[in-house]
Amino acid sequence: MPMPGFTTNTSRYYIEFDGMTGLEIKSMTELSYEAKVTGNQKAIAATYNGAGGIVTQRQTTSGGYESNPTMKIEVFLSGHPKSASYRLYQWFQACMPTSDGGDGEWASNRKAASVVVYDADGKTEVLRWNLDRAWIKKYSIGGADVTAGDLAVETYEFVAEHIDKVTQVQASNDGRIASSQPVTSQNAF
């Protein structure tokens, strides 16, 4: 019987951007890359399959991607110059069009980024995603409520031109990480 795949919790992670390390991130709520599916709306043929009767055939193929890869992170609101909140908002301002009060320099402010998930020990890298030429496309802040006891949270949504999952982990019989290797089309399946 094959061993179950290696799993880990999601509370041990680190996110960094070119020139921006040590950011205190509350959460990463989404990392997505969605393909478009084409050709499946209409049947392309029908045939008789003996005892199976009439079979309608459809073809589904990839039609590219819906959009570029995106990632959402949440940080606690802070005005301290070393805080993630302050530094990310400065980056957002640099990317925002001049017509909206920003610097209008999104093309020169794209950054490489990495999202790294660690084992429960907080030291062993389990998975890594690298984002290429990422920039902040959306900023939002959570609502305020006089009766709530929560800290104020900002959400930043990033868009990237490319994303790579670069670590694949193999578990040993006792559940520890036996090895890891880059994910390529040769070893991904």
User: Which residue in 74, 97, 80 sits closest to 150, CA to CA?
Assistant: 74
Other CB atoms within 10 Å distance of the CB of residue 159: 18
Which one-letter DSSP state was computed for residue 20? Answer: B
CATH of 13-33+69-181, one of 2.40.160, 2.30.110, 3.30.450, 1.25.40: 2.30.110
> Cα separation of 37 and 87, whole Å?
38
- Whether pLDDT at 41 is above 70: no
Biggest CA–CA distance in the chain, Å, is: 73
Question: Contact 158/16 with Cβ under 8 angstroms?
Answer: no
Judged against a pLDDT cut of 60, whether residue 185 lies above it is answered with no
CB 50 within 8 A of CB 141: no
> Which of 180, 154, 160 is closest to 169 using CA atoms?
180
CA dist 25 and 158 (Å) reads 14
Mean pLDDT value of segment 108-128? 84
148 pLDDT exceeds 70? yes
Tokens of 107: 């093309």
The answer to whether the CB of 126 falls within 8 A of the CB of 179 is no
Tell me where in the chain the CATH 2.30.110 domain(s) lie.
13-33+69-181
Give me the pLDDT at residue 187, please.
Answer: 42
Please provide the average confidence, as pLDDT, over all residues in the chain. 78
Which pair of tokens denotes residue 130? 């690298």
Q: Read off the pLDDT of each residue in 45-66 and give the average, rounded to a whole number.
A: 66
Q: Above 80 in pLDDT, residue 4? A: no
